[in-house]
Structures are given as structure tokens and as C-alpha cells.
Amino acid sequence: MPDHIQMSEDELRERTRALLEEVHPETTEAIPFRRKQYEHGLAWVHFPEGHGGLGLSPKMNVIVQDEIGKHSKVVHQDPGASIIGIGMGAPVVLTYGTDEMKRDMLPRIFSGEDVWCQMFSEPSAGSDVAGLAMRAERDGDEWVVNGQKVWTTVAHLSRWGMLLARTNPDVPKHDGLSYFVLDMQAPGVEVRPLYQITGEAEFNEVFLTDVRIPHDRMLGKEGQGWNVAITTLMNERVAIGGGGSKKKGGGGIAQLLKVWNDRNKDASSPAQEAILRDRMTQAWIENELLRVTSQRARAAQKSGTPGPEGSVSKLAQAEIHKRMWELGVDVMGATGLTFEAGYELRQGYGSLNSALELAKYQFLRSRANSIEGGTSEIMRNILGERVLGLPGEPRVDKNVAWKDVPRS
């Protein structure tokens, strides 16, 4: 990415106010407002001009948020279903997409009109995603795709899918992959919900039967899909790990404190109380450090593409969340024996109308934090090998044609 254009904070704030003069979140719906925000280059200020940005440093995105928050009671946040499109779809289209794709797809990702999903994992390829089996074969100007994806979050809502498929089984696994943008409405795409630990179905299995993808929807070159996927995965870790609350005491810890305050205080002895209070303080500290660490990472982030350091936050956040919500349930004692939301299959969050019920839901949902977007074990491998420079393990799949590697 080229050097960032210099623009003062004041100037960026002024531009944000100019947007608010034209459309205001209090009087404009999310989609039309966010379309205008995109046109003004205030969607992702680190993107180039004309593509939702102003070519500034990524650090400056928070200024836009801050200025909108100052002048409006309503803030149209990134829509929940668009997190994958915004966090991973947009950067990959920007880096590898044609001008036409950028022009047509980026504004609709930001506005929330088009939901995107990530179609990497398969039944036989999770952590070892480069070992995937979905087959794409060339037929004239098109590719014909067959196979199964799994754990595909929001596939049921998606307009487009980021699809990684095997175009050559006769070379080692990383070399035979290509990356496509898949039209989820194309014939032969079948999405089936998967029932989760929480009772929800956020993710799906997706079956592809003779699905045709035009050749110009390939991102990167044939056989270079792995490099494109890496861009996606790096951004994913930041999208997931870069979270935490930007505000002190905000986000998850605020919810946990509410549980602490709303709990049945008669249920524990002073000794139990002291133990739980210390654990609560540890949770506060870890959340606060998650926030400060993300802030430090943002301050250090010079270019638009995050490095393996993103894995520090991803790993830490996953483990902290799990501990935090285990504590949430421990704090409430016997109240934790019930779960009012129930486990009826639902696509969406159902009703979680108290802090205590929400905590029980989080207790269940947070188990995924150390699996989704790369498991904690894989994060430790990445930190050990790519950040600390420790040697890798002996590999049985190196320099072996993909078709000859054993698979479960």
C-alpha cells in the first residue's frame, strides 16, 4: 500500500460534519446513510479515494466514528451480518478484484445491502484449510464447481461467497487452489442450516453441484488462491481479535458487571464473595488489557494489511472470553441451572432479556471463540513460528501432490 496521504484530524472531522449535513443518521435509515458515507470516502478512510476511502492511515477510522457519535444519538454501526463482508470481503476485493468488482461490490458491502460469507472450511479441511477438496474444473470461460463446505456463517443470508476451491489436485496442496467470488443465487448452490450448542444456526453446510462461475470472478491467478486466502485470514484475525471494547469498561465487561450486580447476593458466604470478587477483578483487568493492546496495535499499524501480530489479540481474546463467561455463570450460582431461551433451532438470537440470561448464552457461544477463525492451538503455532521464529514441525504433506496426502 502506498504512503498515506496526510490529513489533519480537524480536516477529517470537518469532512465528517459535511456528510452529516447532507444526511443525518437520526433522520436517515442505515442503508442510505451508509451509502452516502461510502461516497464521501468515510467508510474506510484507509481505502483509496473512489472506493470508500481517502487514502489515510487506518488509525484515523476511529475519528469518523467519534465525530458521528458526537453529533448524532443514532449511530449506524456495521450491521451484524456484514462483519465478514466488511472485515474480509472488502479488503480482498480491494486487493485482488477488477475495477468493475470494486465499483459494484464495495459500496454494497459497506451499506449492508449485500452480505458476504467465507467458504473455506470443509468436513475434511478445517485447521488444514489448504488441504480442502472442493473441485473446480475449467469449462471454456467458466469454472464448474462441485463439493461441500461447512461451518459457513451467514451463508443463508449471503449474496456473495468467498470460495476457495481446488483447481489442480496433482500439485502440493497450497499450489492447486484458486479463489472465487461465488454468486450464492447461482443454480446448484444449496444452503442447509447447522444446529449449534446454543440452539442457534449461525452457520450452515453449503453443497455445490455443478455450479458455474465465470472466469472473471476469480480473484488472483489460477493456482494462487492460497495467497489470496492469506489476505482474508489475516484480516479475519484482526476482524475477530481486534475487537474488544474501544471504551474503558465497555463491551463484555460491562455485561459481566451487570451480572455481578444483578446476582442473588444472599447465595454466597463472605469467603465465597471474596474469591468471586477477585476473579471479577481479574476479568476486568484482562478486558482492560485487551482494549489497550488493540489500541497499541492500531497505533503501531503502519500499513493496511495486518501482520501475524493479529494472532496475539485473537488468541488472547478467545481465551479471555471463555474465562470471563465461565465466571459469569459461576457468579450467579444456582440461577445458572436454567436457560430460558431454550434450545429450539433458530436463525437469530431469540430472546435474551436479562443480563443473567445473556451471560448464560455467552457462556455457550464463547466456546466457539477458540475454534472459529483458527483454533487457539493454530494461533499458538503461528505466534511460535512466524512471530518468535521457532522451527516448524516435520511435515508429511510437503512436496507431495494433494491427491496423495491422507485425509479423514
Ligand X SMILES: Cc1cc2nc3c(=O)[nH]c(=O)nc-3n(C[C@H](O)[C@H](O)[C@H](O)COP(=O)(O)OP(=O)(O)OC[C@H]3O[C@@H](n4cnc5c(N)ncnc54)[C@H](O)[C@@H]3O)c2cc1C
Which residues does the annotation mark as catalytic? 236
Nearer to other proteins (CB atom), residue 18 or residue 285: 285
Query: Where on the phi/psi map is residue 24: left (φ > 0), alpha (ψ -120 to 50), or beta?
Result: beta
Nearer to other proteins (CB atom), residue 28 or residue 376: 376
Give residue for cell 455485561. Answer: 255
CB of 393 to ligand X, least distance (A): 7
Q: What is the DSSP letter of 53?
A: B
Q: What is the DSSP letter of 220?
A: S
C-alpha distance from residue 393 to each of 381, 384, 388, 396, 399 (Å):
10, 11, 14, 10, 15
Say if residue 396 is exposed, middle or buried (CB neighbours under 10 Å; 0-12, 13-18, 19+).
exposed
- CA dist 226 and 220 (Å) reads 9
Give the H or E element holding residue 143.
strand 142-153
What does the DSSP assignment read for 76-99? -PPPGGGHHIIIIIHHHHHHH--H
Nearer to ligand X (CB atom), residue 294 or residue 366: 366
CB of 297 to other proteins, least distance (A): 9
- Judged by CB under 6 A, the number of residues near ligand X is 20
Nearer to other proteins (CB atom), residue 334 or residue 388: 388
- The reply on whether position 277 binds other proteins by CB under 8 A is yes
Lay out the site mask for ligand X across 143-162 (x = CB under 6 A, - = otherwise): --------xxx---------
Question: Which 113-132 positions form the footprint of ligand X (CB under 6 A)?
Answer: 117-121, 126-127
> Which amino acid is present at 118?
Q
CB of 380 to ligand X, least distance (A): 8
Choose, by CB under 6 A, the member of 20, 63, 93, 378 that binds ligand X: 378
- CA dist 107 and 36 (Å) reads 9
- The reply on whether position 226 binds ligand X by CB under 6 A is no
- The reply on whether position 180 binds ligand X by CB under 6 A is no
- CA dist 346 and 391 (Å) reads 45
Lay out the site mask for other proteins across 299-338 (x = CB under 8 A, - = otherwise): x------------x--xx----------------------
- CA dist 101 and 404 (Å) reads 36
CB of 382 to other proteins, least distance (A): 8
- The reply on whether position 377 binds other proteins by CB under 8 A is yes
Q: What is the DSSP letter of 44?
A: S
Nearer to other proteins (CB atom), residue 25 or residue 241: 241
What does the DSSP assignment read for 360-400? HHHHHHGGGGGTTTS-HHHHHHHIIIIIS-------SSTTS
Residue whose beta carbon is closest to ligand X: 126
Question: Which 383-402 positions form the footprint of other proteins (CB under 8 A)?
Answer: 383-385, 387-394
List residues binding ligand X (CB under 6 A). 117-121, 126-127, 151-153, 203, 368, 371-375, 377-378, 381
List residues binding other proteins (CB under 8 A). 248-249, 257, 260, 277-278, 280-282, 284-286, 288-289, 292-293, 295-296, 299, 312, 315-316, 377, 379-381, 383-385, 387-394
